[in-house]
């Protein structure tokens, strides 16, 4: 479904301009919004994203209230870019607060902005800097998007014993699976390998214990056609995420660093089936461990709803 061509970004004059942190008292009560299902081509699957096309005049508290009203894992607000190369500034909120970067908000935002501007590539200004997204089309219809993610930092995770306790599984023995490591590309994600798809699918974490760790936790395993992952983050007000783009790129890097895949090899990642929101993500890391060139994550999206939201 395409965003109507009559829509233009920031077509109306706001009560206040700038970075979106102004007084909302004399701005319009109604805001155009979209809902996208991201990392899927099918409505009512993938990861839901709330999208406000014009965030000017909304302060951070109002953005957070609107995000909690939407009640999705993330909601985004479009603002005029402050960087000359960017097409839009995008602020990302979870129900727990603002975050500098996330994958499915990046792809969903680029999908909508690409439709509105009619562009095959867009640059989004985010908390981590400018994030470019390439869009593939069939005629006028966007069919696939691929973001170039921030290159993560990484290291060993020193609270692995607490992770295994929260997951209710025995502590990792030497040589049994890849080392438990953290990666940061904005969010902090910890990666734990399991021996089978069934082992991942049947996990039932103690969310109280897991919530004491301020991390995203990616539990993953090899499958016949790629990889499966489940991502938990109760400390961030997110029990389980249907599709985590920010965790997909570092997963590919984790696998490449430890020889499970080759650098430059694209992997398919399935996520979300256990919470009835099946999603498919694609990730690739170009370069070498000592000279990473690009971390690419892609997938599809579909706009499932549009309208006006009353915020005040």
> Is 17 domain-assigned?
no
In this prediction the pTM is: 0.91
Catalytic (active site) residue 74: yes
- Do residue 133 and residue 210 come from a single domain? no
Q: What percent of the chain has pLDDT over 70?
A: 91
> Is 273 domain-assigned?
yes
Tell me if 188 sits within 8 A of 197, measured CB to CB.
Answer: no
> Is 61 domain-assigned?
yes
- Do residue 199 and residue 230 come from a single domain? yes
The pLDDT of residue 158 is above 70: yes
pLDDT of residue 238: 84
- Do residue 74 and residue 165 come from a single domain? no
Of the residues 13, 16, 69, 74, only one is catalytic, namely 74
C-beta neighbour count of 58 within 10 angstroms? 27
Question: What is the rounded average pLDDT of the residues 239-260?
Answer: 97
Q: Which residue, among 296, 248, 289, has the nearest Cα to 153 in the 3D structure?
A: 289
Q: How far is CA 182 from CA 111, 121, 192, 301, in A?
A: 29, 31, 9, 28
- Do residue 248 and residue 304 come from a single domain? no
- Do residue 235 and residue 104 come from a single domain? no
CATH number at residue 277: 3.10.310.10
Residues in Cβ contact with 227 at an 8 Å cutoff, skipping those fewer than 6 apart: 220, 221, 251, 255, 267, 268, 269, 270
How many domains are contained in the chain? 2
- Do residue 183 and residue 268 come from a single domain? yes
- Do residue 214 and residue 228 come from a single domain? yes
- Do residue 144 and residue 162 come from a single domain? no
Q: Which residue, among 278, 238, 298, has the nearest Cα to 43 in the 3D structure?
A: 278
- Do residue 136 and residue 178 come from a single domain? no
> Is 200 domain-assigned?
yes
- Do residue 259 and residue 189 come from a single domain? yes
The helix/strand/coil state of 312 is coil
The overall average pLDDT reported for the chain is 91
Q: For the segment 19-38, what is each residue's pLDDT rounded down to a tens digit?
A: 455 454 444 578 999 999 99
> Is 184 domain-assigned?
yes
Q: How far is CA 19 from CA 66, 78, 186, 210, 221, in A?
A: 17, 10, 20, 35, 42
Question: What is the rounded average pLDDT of the residues 192-209?
Answer: 95
- Do residue 161 and residue 289 come from a single domain? yes
Q: Which domain holds residue 178?
A: 153-299
The pLDDT of residue 170 is above 50: yes
- Do residue 188 and residue 245 come from a single domain? yes
> Is 22 domain-assigned?
no
> Is 23 domain-assigned?
no
Bridging pattern class, strands 267-271 and 238-241:
unpaired
> Is 267 domain-assigned?
yes
């Amino acid at each position: 479904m395409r965003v109507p061509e009559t829509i233009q970004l920031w077509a109306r004059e706001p009560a206040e301009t700038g970075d979106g942190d102004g007084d909302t008292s004399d701005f319009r009560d109604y805001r155009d919004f979209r809902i996208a299902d991201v990392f899927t081509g099918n409505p009512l699957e993938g990861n839901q994203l709330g999208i406000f096309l014009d965030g000017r005049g909304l302060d951070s508290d109002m953005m957070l209230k609107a995000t909690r009203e939407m009640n999705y894992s993330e909601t985004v607000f479009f603002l005029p870019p402050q960087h000359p190369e960017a097409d839009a500034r995008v602020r990302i909120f979870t129900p727990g607060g603002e975050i500098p970067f996330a994958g499915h908000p990046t792809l969903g935002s680029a999908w909508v902005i690409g439709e509105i501007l009619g562009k095959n590539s867009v640059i989004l200004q985010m908390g981590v800097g400018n994030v470019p997204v390439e869009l593939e089309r069939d005629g006028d219809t966007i069919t696939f998007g691929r973001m170039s993610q921030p290159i993560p930092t990484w290291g060993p995770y020193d609270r692995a014993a607490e992770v295994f306790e929260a997951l209710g599984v025995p502590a990792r023995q030497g040589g049994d699976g890849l080392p438990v490591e953290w990666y940061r590309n904005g969010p902090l994600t910890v990666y734990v390998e399991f021996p089978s798809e069934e082992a991942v699918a049947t996990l039932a974490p103690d969310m109280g214990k897991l919530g004491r760790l301020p991390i995203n936790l990616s539990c993953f395993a090899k499958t016949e056609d790629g990889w499966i992952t489940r991502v938990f983050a109760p400390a961030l007000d997110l029990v389980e995420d249907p599709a985590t783009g920010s965790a997909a790129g570092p997963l590919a890097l984790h696998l490449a660093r430890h020889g499970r895949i080759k650098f430059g090899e694209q992997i398919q990642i399935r996520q979300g089936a256990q919470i009835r929101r099946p999603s498919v993500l694609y990730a690739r890391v170009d370069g070498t461990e000592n000279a990473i060139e690009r971390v690419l994550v892609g997938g599809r999206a579909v706009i499932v709803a549009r309208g006006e939201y009353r915020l005040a």
